[in-house]
């Protein structure tokens, strides 16, 4: 009799622990956006010679305090990967539960790689660097050129994965938001513009920063949305199976 009385309590604690850990992982996605955007904004105020209108934010990784942006890439990427883990725990094997976390995880991995592989000085930054882009980029600069691009593209595809999820749940506002973000990011980054004398599209720094900000804000919004539905948990089955957190219909 006493054993039967203890079992529900143990199961309840298992539910609470599972929900709490999943909630913490999802919260990583909420934290990543203000962290990344805030650290970049701070550097725009304190870094001499950096002009966002023509310098991609990646160039903040070079120079005397380049370690700040390197750490920003890596820490934000790890947070996004943590968020992806939470998405898988919450949604798999339901709709968006497989490709959603994989693509979000790739977004995070691209950020981490963007910090590990540092670009070369270019476009007159840091001050004293020749104008234009180096003719023979280093191997780590080449790797950097691919990493964030792959990451942002993965975030764009993830937007449309969640369009399908929210459309299936008839949450049309969220479906529209995901679709709009998925269209806006490549449109902003790739919109044709005038090329300057050094072969650099005008305003490229602003457009790349805007695309990254939209991706981070979308991830934070999805994380907050999933966290808001995490209060409902599956009740422990009488067979003794482990309780699993759920965010409603898949």
pLDDT per residue as tens digits for the range 103-127: 999 999 999 999 999 999 999 999 9
117 versus 247: the higher-pLDDT residue is 117
Give the domain ranges of the chain.
25-125+140-228
So what's the pLDDT on residue 182?
Answer: 98
HEC states along the chain?
CHHHHHHHHHHHHHHHHHHHHHHHHHHHHHHHHHHHHHHHHHHHHHCCCCCCCCCCHHHHHCCCCHHHHHHHHHHHHHHHHHHHHHHHHHHCCCCCCCHHHHHHHHHHHHHHHHHHCCCCCECCECCCCCCCCCCCCCHHHHHHHHHHHHHHHHHHHHHHHHHHHHHHCCCHHHHHHHHHHHHHHHHHHHCCCCECCCCCECCHHHHHHHHHHHHHHHHHHHHHHHHHCCCCECCCCCCCCCCCECCCCC
pLDDT higher than 60, residue 90: yes
pLDDT over 50 (residue 213): yes
User: What is the pTM for the complete model shown?
Assistant: 0.85
pLDDT score of 239: 37
More confident residue, 244 or 140: 140
Which pLDDT does position 39 carry in this prediction?
Answer: 98
């Amino acid at each position: 009799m006493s054993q039967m009385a203890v079992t529900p309590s143990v199961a309840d604690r298992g539910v609470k622990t599972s929900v709490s850990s999943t909630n913490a992982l999802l919260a990583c996605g909420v934290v990543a956006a203000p962290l990344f955007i805030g650290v970049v904004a701070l550097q725009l105020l304190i870094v001499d010679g950096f002009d966002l209108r023509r310098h991609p934010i990646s160039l903040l990784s070079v120079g005397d305090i380049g370690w700040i942006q390197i750490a920003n890439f890596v820490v934000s990427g790890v947070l996004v990967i943590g968020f992806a883990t939470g998405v898988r725990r919450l949604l798999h094997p339901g709709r968006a539960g497989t490709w959603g976390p994989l693509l979000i995880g790739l977004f995070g991995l691209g950020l981490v790689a963007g910090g590990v592989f540092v670009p070369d000085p270019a476009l007159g930054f840091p001050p004293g660097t020749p104008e234009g882009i180096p003719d023979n980029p280093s191997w780590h600069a080449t790797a950097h050129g691919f990493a964030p691009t792959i990451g942002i593209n993965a975030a764009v595809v993830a937007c449309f994965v969640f369009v399908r999820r929210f459309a299936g749940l008839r949450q049309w506002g969220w479906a529209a938001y995901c679709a709009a973000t998925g269209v806006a990011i490549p449109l902003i980054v790739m919109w044709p513009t005038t090329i300057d004398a050094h072969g650099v599209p005008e305003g490229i720094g602003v457009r790349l920063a805007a695309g990254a900000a939209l991706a981070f804000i979308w991830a934070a919004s999805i994380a907050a949305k999933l966290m808001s539905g995490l209060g409902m948990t599956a009740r422990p089955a009488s067979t003794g199976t482990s309780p699993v957190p759920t965010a409603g219909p898949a």
